[in-house]
Amino acid sequence: MMVQCTCLLLLLLSTAVFSQNYDAFIVKHTLVKANDKKDCDTLMKACKAINTFIDERDEKIIQDMCKDVSKKQFVNLAYNCFDCVTKDKKEPCSYKQEKPNNNKKIVCEKDKSKNKFLPVHLEAECRPYI
């Protein structure tokens, strides 16, 4: 019974994660709307353990990450990125910038309004919360 509950919880969480759209992806994971700031304390909106940002301001380059995709799938992220990691969990949170320790992937999904595949999710990495 415990395994079934755990599986159901994981399914619900993964559905919530993959329901993010392209516009939310741009805000959460790129520097397109960052007002020329590359400072983690400025970029992070809510207190969370870690968030990865793609070091790119040109939205066309972001969209082109999925240009060769014809179905919903993971694509290797071949662009520079950085992690913002909490220094501590006391609010207001402060962050340090780190280079990711593994290769990231993005999920490309068809955007019906733009009629093309666009990035909607950046693969999460499990790290301990400090």
pLDDT of residue 119: 96
Confidence band for 19, pLDDT divided at 50, 70 and 90: low
The candidate with the shortest Cα–Cα distance to 34, out of 43, 44, 26, 25, is 43
Token pair in block for residue 7 = 């599986």
Residue 107 near residue 121, CB atoms below 8 Å: yes
Residue 85 near residue 50, CB atoms below 8 Å: yes
**Residue 79, CA atoms < 13 Å, CB-side half-sphere:** 22
Lowest mean pLDDT among 42-46, 53-57, 88-92: 88-92
pTM metric for this prediction = 0.75
Cis amide bond preceding 92, omega within 30 = yes
Please say if the pLDDT value at position 79 is more than 60: yes
Task: Please tell me the chain's helix, strand, coil percentages from 3-state DSSP, rounded to the nearest 5.
Answer: 30, 25, 45
Please say if the pLDDT value at position 92 is more than 60: yes
- Residue 29 burial (CB < 10 Å; 0-12/13-18/19+)? buried
What percent of the chain has a predicted confidence (pLDDT) above 90?
A: 51
Best CATH choice for the domain 21-122 from the list 2.60.40.10, 1.10.10.10, 3.40.50.1820, 3.10.130.10: 3.10.130.10
Lowest mean pLDDT among 13-27, 33-47, 95-109: 13-27
Q: What is the mean pLDDT of residues 87-111?
A: 88
Token pair in block for residue 26 = 């741009």
Confidence band for 20, pLDDT divided at 50, 70 and 90: confident
Please say if the pLDDT value at position 16 is more than 90: no
